[in-house]
Amino acid sequence: MIFETFLSLSSNCFKKLLILLILSMTILVGFLSAQEKATLRVLEQNFDLTSQTPSKKFIELGWDIPNTAYLKEHHKEMQQTTPFDGMMLALEALDSEGKKISSQHMMTTQKWEPAWFETAIADLKSCKFTTFTDNFIRINYTPGSIKWNDNTGWKIFCEKSALCAKIAKETGLKGLAIDFEPYGDVIFRYDDQSGQTFEETQKIVRKRGAQWMKAIVTEYPDMVLLTLFILDFVPHPNEYEDTNTKLEAQHHYGLLPAYFNGMLDVVPPEMKIVDGCESGYYLNGNNEYIRRAWALQAIGGPALRLIVPENRQKYINQVQIGFGFYLDMYTNPEGHQYYRGPKDGGTRLDRLKENLSAAKKAADEYVWIYGEQRRWWKPVKADEKWEHWETALPSITSTILRVKNPVELLRKTLAEIQQTDTFVNLIKNGDFSVSKSDKIDIPAEWQTWQHEPTGTFSHDSNIGNGSAKATKIKRGCFLQELPAKSGECYYISVDAKRQGTGQISVRMRWKDAEGKWIHEVEDGIFPFKTANDQGWQQASGIVCVPEGAAFILCLCNVSNQETENDTVWFDNVLLIKLE
């Protein structure tokens, strides 16, 4: 009943509490019973902490950051050859004197004219983004030359930020990506020579945060505001320490909480803000990512104490935790300041996979993957020397995709897998080409089950090479049982086409050595996706055999068919054991 009550909660606040509970439980998962572990997995799946669907998004950023002209020419290739859900781009143009201006160097008092960006807007509108669903204009607080008391300078900076937001909205981008690191004057560090106290400076900074937020939400109120960090690099207050004393003590980002509180003062409810947690670069192992997420999300935790009371509910409801992931850590030579060595008994790529999986699990939605010394796409200048990430770390592309969405990787490589000598479809008669017999007209190797004998199961030789057909079934399935071992993982894929009413799904279930149904809470249930032009849908996913299971069962489920016209055809059932 406790878990059912949790699952029924709709409040973002309570969902965050539950997610934090789940994250905390994973630290102690080694001490849980099998049933508790199973319940934990159900909770994780319900809140998409370990989902196989691509709801966790990987965003690219690097020294290869593209401008709009590059995207216009190369966006198709970029999407086809990389494992990302989007990227950060530089918005660039030429001013009236022919000098380049950029969203990566815009915290100056130079005014921008919207007409300068007409070409950039046209470039973005020409792009056909498919797999790159979440793209962001990168805004840098660089060179940080505008002082807090410079009303004219802040007005110009806010106007430029609003223009970026307007262009993002107009061209279908997800939002803005903000880097508060100034790469110049350290604007978020308190200047004790300013003639103002720290508290007085905080008040001014908070007003600037509100001013900046008002500017961008006027143009794009429902954007995703993806920051590389917010409170992540701020010194977190301990319970018995004075917060302002710690923030004032010449810390680079001691004023950033005040600025962020100003942003929260006016943030509209439809905006989503992501603390990108750049310190994710240095985290190692599942527990470190979990602890960092807890520090930033916990009710009453160190990060929330930096938020003024009137803004804490907004923080809870609208701020997500993401993570930065630094690829160079896994290619730099040993002894380098930024070096991450191989996993025990494995390789550096194994370590990358382990840590990226931990970042994905602990993040609410976004992980941004950053690289410096290599590139994902070729440079503008043909003669420029460069090295692809795949050359520096072979199989990195498929590894990232495997972490992000293993089902997508399998779909992309399925044709290649099927051509290998080792490929085996464990499902017998998976293409339904063979009927059991002339007298028993159902597919060979398959069983059928109905809760009530209201409809018929049959073999239909007129669909492809044959198919499994179900008509007027209240509740039932085609099923096949196969031996399996605990710890094994399988990819399942099923095609279906339906007529009339009724629901369909694929369910993977378990039996022990004695043939008893077990671990029902660990069943794999996969819905069918949108139909193609021929009316066929596909359900697919990955399941792992739980402890004590000796058999895996594939169930092609049908329910709620009312008439003789209500029919579904199943075809091309594929079950592959993953090594």
Report percent pLDDT > 90 for the chain.
Answer: 72
Average pLDDT over residues 237-258: 77
Q: Which residue has the higher pLDDT, 355 or 298?
A: 355
Q: State pLDDT tens for residues 78-116.
A: 999 999 999 999 999 999 999 999 999 999 999 999 999
What is the residue-wise DSSP string for 429-456?
Answer: TTT--SBS-SSS-SBTT-EEEESSS-SE
pLDDT at residue number 250: 61
3-class SS of residue 285: coil
Dig out the tokens for 135 from the structure.
């793209």
Q: Parse the chain into domains and list their residue ranges.
A: 1-53, 56-72+84-321, 447-578
pLDDT higher than 60, residue 52: no
Least confident of 176-190, 228-242, 437-451: 228-242
Average pLDDT over residues 59-87: 96
DSSP class of residue 82 equals S
Q: Report d(CA 134, CA 89) in Å as an integer.
A: 11
Beta strands in 228-311 (DSSP E): 272-275
3-class SS of residue 57: strand
DSSP class of residue 337 equals S
Residue whose C-alpha is closest to residue 562's, from 520, 491, 513, 499: 499
Residue whose C-alpha is closest to residue 464's, from 421, 429, 412: 429
pLDDT higher than 70, residue 37: no
Q: Report d(CA 188, CA 236) in Å as an integer.
A: 16
Average pLDDT over residues 52-60: 77
Q: Which residue has the higher pLDDT, 36 or 256?
A: 256
Whole-number CA gyration radius for the chain: 27
Band of the pLDDT at 484, cuts 50, 70, 90?
A: very high
pLDDT higher than 50, residue 43: no
Q: State pLDDT tens for residues 150-186.
A: 999 999 999 999 999 999 999 999 999 999 998 888 8
pLDDT at residue number 480: 97
Class of 447-578 in CATH:
mainly beta
Band of the pLDDT at 8, cuts 50, 70, 90?
A: very low
Q: Report d(CA 155, CA 167) in Å as an integer.
A: 19
pLDDT higher than 60, residue 20: no
pLDDT higher than 60, residue 12: no
* Mean model confidence pLDDT for the chain: 88
Element (H, E) at 575: strand 567-578
What pTM does this model have? 0.76
Beta strands in 241-350 (DSSP E): 272-275, 319-321, 323-326
Average pLDDT over residues 315-337: 96
Average pLDDT over residues 205-225: 98
